[in-house]
Amino acid sequence: QVRLVESGGGSVEAGGSLRLSCKVSGYSVRKNCLGWFRQAPGKQREGVGIFDSGGKANYATSVKGRFTISRDNAKNTLYLQMNSLQPEDTGMYYCAARRAACTVVPGFLPLEGAYNYWGHGTQVTVSS
């Protein structure tokens, strides 16, 4: 049974920071095929930061340079460090894992349909 549990969301002012955690069970983060997605009200869920099979981090253009994904193999936990947050970053943030190998084309992040396991999400709200 694969479980992903996000935590760390909250409300911050523009320019602030948050660190999200995703505790993973039944799936090793060393497989690499994990990532963070977000969904704003009325919009599609989109990839934010994704690890490919080789462990390379890939980011949406809108967050590049501000967000960083990382993992702790011993804790089997995935992280998303978010700095310089903007109101446009507001949304529900989810971590996800893919059962099969993953390949990420630079500039084109995988869609949510490529992932098999999802957490319930944690809300991030950024005020101006």
pLDDT string in tens for the chain (128-residue length):
999 999 999 999 999 999 999 999 998 888 778 999 999 989 999 999 999 988 899 999 999 999 999 999 999 999 999 999 999 999 999 999 998 888 888 778 889 999 999 999 999 999 99
**Cβ neighbours for 89, distance < 8 A, ≥ 6 positions apart:** 38, 63, 82, 124, 126
Distance linking the first and last C-alpha atoms of the chain: 40
Alpha-carbon gap, residue 92 to 37, rounded angstroms: 8
Q: Comparing C-alpha atoms, which of 127, 13, 5 is closest to residue 76?
A: 5
pLDDT score for 45: 95
Residue 75: CB atoms within 10 A of its CB come to 12
pLDDT in tens, 106-127: 778 889 999 999 999 999 999 9
pLDDT score for 103: 85
pLDDT score for 100: 86
